[in-house]
Structure 1
Amino acid sequence: MIQKNPFGKLETSVSRLGFGAMGLGGVFGQYGEKELIRSVLNCLEQGVNFIDTARNYGESERILGLALREWTGEKPFIASKVQSRGPGNLGWGQPIPIETAYPKGWLRESTETSLKLLGVETIDLMQLHQYWPQWDRVDYWMEELLQLKEEGKIRGIGISLPDQRHDLALSLVQSGKIDSVQTVFHLFDPLPLDCLVPFCVENRVAVIARCILDEGGLTGFLREDTPFEEGDFRKSYFDYLPRSIYMERVNRLKEAFIPQYADSLAELAIRFVLQHPGVTTAISSMHVMKYADENIAAAGKPPLPDDVFEDIRRHYRWVRNFYETKYWA
């Protein structure tokens, strides 16, 4: 059974491994609707009770809503994100004005759409899909979220950081205004452990780790000739640099730690991210049941030896921003 953690100040507990629902929107390949619904139910049946989706994930909220209508067990914790209205790809690599990303009234409109598609009366956590600290000088967006919370349409307020700059959220974390931070965190990028995670623990702010398998790269699947369909999120992501460089980094991890400390690279990656108790939940795309079952099994394994964890954290980090190719090619 998957272990659970308290979710910040919200007086609820969530599974340490969460269902990342971006894959329900078809960005990692096309799957049948019934197959996707079954993938959600499969994870719920195994104790995964945290699901993270977004307005920006295509059909994800609608398909998740269909799965929730079939689910007869305890209601899972549903997190979604307000869709930014920034033009094109702006707002991911550099700041844009809050009035451009989330104009007045847009937070409510986006939330109302999410509620309808999900078929729920309350969303447990509503996050800004983009966040820049310059926005803290403007009050209206937080006031709109607080009003939605008062009306019972959302329970908690969170932010999702646009890229690997983990320290963008430190001032907001200390303000006491938010319940969670979502950030990139994986074997190659352990930087959230330096400042963000300790700050969140101190202020009872939940940490949602995303990209824990680096868009699948940390499963070891990538080859020089691995093809990607049109519309697949990874089509440009892994061509930030020659694939041989990425594969060499992956092979170093395999040679050092597999199978002595983990049965697979994916298992090592999941256990690494879950090692620190300050990580509330780590989300992985689990729309393919075979991989979901493997991820769930990995999350149930004991912690890595402390010296192995520290070795990976100190000597295998490789911090780079693949979003520079994805959004700024």
Structure 2
Amino acid sequence: MSNLELPETYDPAFHGDSNDHPYLGKLEYRQLGNTGLRVSQIGLGTAVLGNLFGTINRDEGIEATQQAIKSGINYVDTAPFYNTSQDVLGDALRDVPRNTYYLATKVGREWLEPVNGRFDMSASFDFSAASVLKSFERSLQRLGLPYVDVVQIHDCDVPGDREILLKETLPALESLVKAGKARFIGITGYDLDFLQSIANEAKVDTVLSFSRYNLHDVSLLDYLDGFESKGVGVVTAAALAQGLLTTAGPQAWHCASEELKATTRQAVKHAQGLGTTIEEASLGFSLRSPDSRIATCLVSIATQDILTQNLNAAVRPRTASDENLYKELREVYGNQNNSWVGREPSEYQKALAEKL
């Protein structure tokens, strides 16, 4: 079966004639582990709909979301932690046939309104069975859906409480699968060692890793064999590393070290010297992974222009010239993997609390 064959989510009444479609037939669809789902190489992340990266126009966000699915993107990821995102997404999905997309949501991390201008990151985590089940039901209501395709534990590596994950959270999610309210179970986070250890001990269908398959850090590649051996599907997110890999640079709350930020500024200048931008290079690198075990990469899309930019980056072939570009930019980072594992509970949380 060709990866470019139309997916089972293709609906001619919604998508239109595939022969005249600008992206169907060009987008690659990859197997998500052993789930049986064939997902688009570019997935839709929805944190932007909750204004987590700046205030957006709600109507434009809804229109871009609908158009993304109509363009062939069939994997949509959301979470209650994304402020009002699920309410906006629910409005967007109301006019979209349910058979045209797969929906993944999360539990265990909730949005809490800032108190006296400060946001308490640690207080937003609760992986108890009662809490995650309540959160899940609330998400279904906000989304206006009877079920989701994947229910995931959100950033399970930050508290790092293996005992509650294995003995309470995962069994609660299994009950949702048995009840027909979810089809598969996933875990999400940044610390790949932690994610792999959970996947080795428990029945997990998917893993969502962010900012670990980018120009500054390709650590995810070292874990693909392990995930594949367990039949775990791999989803990546943050093609621009949460704003790190941008010409303007990351926001103050970003948890990358000052050294990494400085090196990235060198990478920005090097990309410009090669006649491109760090954004264009980063999108191409993350959205066109040659390793099909990376099933999809989530991107935030708030407008039609951003949607078009990301789709064009995804469907353009990865050429020898691209490989040389990525090689040179990786050399700026010394061909090393630069992560910020362990920084979130301290500097990152403090900075984000002050920002929000």
- TM-score for the superposition, normalised by structure 2: 0.76
* Superposed CA offset, 1:33-56 (max 9, x none): 211101101211211111111010
Within the candidate set 232, 235, 247, 2:265 is matched to 247
Mapped contact 1:190–1:313 kept (Cα < 8 A): no
Shift of the 246–272 alpha-carbon distance from structure 1 to 2, 3 Å rule, reads: closer
Shift of the 48–170 alpha-carbon distance from structure 1 to 2, 3 Å rule, reads: same
Q: Distance in 2 between matches of 1:267 and 1:199?
A: 30
Mapped contact 1:124–1:154 kept (Cα < 8 A): yes
Look up the equivalent residue of 2:270 and give its one-letter code. Answer: R
Within the candidate set 3, 8, 11, 2:36 is matched to 11
Q: Distance in 1 between matches of 2:147 and 2:237?
A: 23
Look up the equivalent residue of 1:326 and give its one-letter code. Answer: Y
Q: Distance in 1 between matches of 2:310 and 2:304?
A: 10
Mapped contact 2:61–2:301 kept (Cα < 8 A): no
Aligned length: 304
After TM superposition, the structure 1 = structure 2 runs for residues 107-256 of structure 1, keeping only pairs within 5 Å, are: 107-132=132-157, 134-136=161-163, 138-161=166-189, 163=190, 165-175=191-201, 177-184=203-210, 185=212, 186-194=214-222, 196-222=223-249, 234-237=251-254, 241=258, 245-255=263-273
The residue number in structure 1 matching 2:100 is: 75
Per the TM alignment, residue 198 of structure 1 is displaced from its structure 2 partner at its CA by: 2.0
The residue number in structure 1 matching 2:67 is: 42
Structure 1 spans left out of the alignment, 5+ residues:
93-99, 224-233
Structure 1 runs of 4+ with >6 Å offset? none
Q: For structure 1, which segment, 274-283 or 307-316, has the greater mean C-alpha deviation from structure 2 after superposition? A: 307-316
* Superposed CA offset, 1:263-322 (max 9, x none): 543332233222322211101111132122111111102234366656655644451427
Mapped contact 2:147–2:180 kept (Cα < 8 A): yes
Q: For structure 1, which segment, 39-48 or 317-326, has the greater mean C-alpha deviation from structure 2 after superposition? A: 317-326
Q: For structure 1, which segment, 319-328 or 292-301, has the greater mean C-alpha deviation from structure 2 after superposition? A: 319-328
Per the TM alignment, residue 136 of structure 1 is displaced from its structure 2 partner at its CA by: 4.7
Q: Distance in 1 between matches of 2:235 and 2:44?
A: 11
Per the TM alignment, residue 7 of structure 1 is displaced from its structure 2 partner at its CA by: 1.5
After TM superposition, the structure 1 = structure 2 runs for residues 271-290 of structure 1, keeping only pairs within 5 Å, are: 271-273=284-286, 274-290=289-305
Q: Distance in 1 between matches of 2:99 and 2:291?
A: 27
Per the TM alignment, residue 254 of structure 1 is displaced from its structure 2 partner at its CA by: 4.2
Look up the equivalent residue of 1:110 and give its one-letter code. Answer: S
Look up the equivalent residue of 1:169 and give its one-letter code. Answer: L
Per the TM alignment, residue 3 of structure 1 is displaced from its structure 2 partner at its CA by: 1.0
- TM-score for the superposition, normalised by structure 1: 0.82
Q: Distance in 2 between matches of 1:84 and 1:181?
A: 16
Q: Distance in 1 between matches of 2:231 and 2:129?
A: 29
Would you say 1:266 and 2:279 are equivalent positions?
yes
Q: Distance in 1 between matches of 2:111 and 2:54?
A: 26
Q: Distance in 2 between matches of 1:277 and 1:91?
A: 37
Per the TM alignment, residue 105 of structure 1 is displaced from its structure 2 partner at its CA by: 1.1
